[in-house]
Structure 1
Amino acid sequence: MNITENRMIRHRNVASKRYSFVPAEIGLAFEDFRTILQTHGANVDGRLFFTMLNEPIAEVMTAELHMGIKENDLTVPAEEEVIFRSYFEVKGLAKIRLLNDFDEQSQAAYWALYNHVKKDNLQQKTPVFVEYKQAPDGTTYVEMSVGVSG
């Protein structure tokens, strides 16, 4: 797996919400989040990514889910615990791209990033981000990244 340095994540108009779930149920968490956003008038634009807040081997995963929306603002009742950011940017990332078999490759990619940080005596500055992207031909791929310095 190739790791590229000095990458960034940059998005406009992103809604975020923290969830805990069994990893196999991440799709249910994203669907719940999508429903909350749509209920409050947001039009989701297809951008999906999440921040892993614990190691992927945990039985219950805690993650902050992020969805891009078309609107420049979002008002959601406080009890929904949704955060809106007009601009979301993280710089200084080490990144791996996964082109297929995402479930199988994600564990290997996580540990490759972890070992990259340790081997090069870097400091981990962010949790791990996982972005779902589409190539111009419509093919879906995943980028996994972590902020580093040192």
Structure 2
Amino acid sequence: IAQALGLTTRSATELAADVRCLVLLGTELPVDDARLRELELIAITTHERGPVVQAKVALPASAWAEASGTVTNHQGFVQRMHPAFAPPGQALAAWEAVVRLAQATPAAAPAKLGYTHAREVFKDMTQAVPAWSTLTWAREARPLALRFAGSRG
């Protein structure tokens, strides 16, 4: 997404003085508190903690159990995720919140962020990340109801 907007990666220590607004995805931000107070902060997150409480705007994101997509586990395996629950209220998948924010920003080129489904983000990642080049989205999973042995539900 950053590449589509023409952005480059910067470490927190290189965060230029000309940066006035920062979009935080999640709750962790390695920027010192003094610099953080100087920024207009927009947070896309599941929880209200850490630097998020200082955000001018906080957008609710769906949690991992509410999202369709992929996750890379601690062993480096990419795994598909299927939502177990609907997200609460107006929470969106983080990628969708980023797309909507970019489309609402006059300086952004909305055509570059025209994703409508997590599988489109996945497809772009398979083209941009060499280690993902052989991965496929596969088919959607059907909802499943499980009952554990001995349960009464």
Shorter-chain TM-score bucket reads: under 0.3
Specify the structure having the higher radius of gyration (Cα).
2
- Alignment TM-score, normalising by the size of structure 2: 0.25
Counting strand residues as a fraction of each chain, which structure ranks higher?
Answer: 1
Counting helix residues as a fraction of each chain, which structure ranks higher?
Answer: 2
Higher relative contact order (CA 8 A, sep 6+): 1
- Alignment TM-score, normalising by the size of structure 1: 0.25
